Amino acid sequence: MRRNDMTSKRKTATNSSNMNFRPAGYDPQRQDTKGTRPTANPTTVREVLLQMLIFLCKKVIFFDVNLKVALYLGSLFLVSLIGDFAPYPKTYFARSDNIFNVYFVKWGWAWTLVLSVPYLVLTSCILCVGNREKLIREHLPRILIATFFWFFWTKVFNLVETMYGRCNVKNFDSKIACLKGGHFWNGFDISGHAFILIYSSLVLIEEAKPIIGWENIKEHLRNEEHNRLTREESSVNPLRNLDDDELQNVKSLYEKYTPVIRVLFISMTALQLLWDVMLVCTMLYYHKMIEKVLSGIFAILTWFFTYRAWYPANSLLPNCAGHGKFIYQKTKIQPAVPFRKQSLNYNNAGSSTGQSNNTPKFMGMPIYPQKTTTATE
């Protein structure tokens, strides 16, 4: 009897499962993916350590740039003024032949280009979806413009020193002849070292900004592929306007270049720290106060004119770093300022969506998932 009862129960269960309702167009292969989001792959210890290092580098290189500019000018004036009246104790860095001065500062702009150019090319290649013409037209000119201003100001500084100087020996009227004769040329020597160190630091900060939110691209790619597989529509995914070929191109380039971009970013942070250290040495031991303050003013004005007034206006090319065919960084609505449009917000990424900045975070990322508010809500 028990065996017959168990057999009847199994048949009843089988019949009930076969009688379950199936809607029209039911596809058992898509049932498991419909309405769910793909999860990220397990993170290795190496990846966690790398993300922690990148997070630390972001904190260093993206220190409040407005405050940094104020510190540059204030320290150039105060530290240099004290050194003019009460010379600081001599150290290894006071020697003009120290290794950092010979192999780094004297080649400062070359080092800046060695790291910033490949970083710019790789990040912009992904943001422009592999469009080389767009990369060359909208991003590469930033480095060419910065190089022009570096060359222009260094030539102006040399011209001023030559025109408004004299040799310590009356028989020599030109700077070249004076120096070749083993004598000393007394002139108004605007500090080229202070200029290149400050200007290079500010350029590195601006060009490094595409790394902010860079890891979000991986999540956007995963979600957009899922949306297209399940034929779901998303109004918030920045990759939704790309066609299938462009999406696959972005995915391929992102996976290929991201490891190199991370290494370049870490190297750029280390170089920017070195420039700050060498700037302190320049304040302590080289040039007069007025010569260093003027060079700092020229560097900051050049940076402000290009990266804060010219590029964000978008009236003329090039564009700001981080712009491309899709926008993966959150934006912040700012009050109207002449020659300036809405720019990328690198500090308060949640403000544009109405999210509270008090949301608990770990390494800059929210701990709890947040609802994204669209413009139509």
Which amino acids are annotated catalytic? Answer: 193, 287
- φ and ψ of 337, to 5 deg: -130, 135
Among residues 46, 347, 40, the alpha carbon closest in space to that of 218 is found at 40
Kindly state the tokens that stand for 237. Answer: 């995914």
Note if the bond before 238 is cis, omega within 30 degrees: no
| Residue 208: exposure state from Cβ atoms within 10 A (0-12, 13-18, ≥19) | buried
Q: What is the DSSP string of 240-263?
A: TTS-HHHHHHHHHHHHHHHHHHHH
Hey, CA dihedral for 140, 352, 261, 216, is it positive or negative?
Answer: negative
CB proximity list for 53: less than 8 A, separation 6 or greater: 266
At which residue do the structure tokens 């870490």 appear? 266
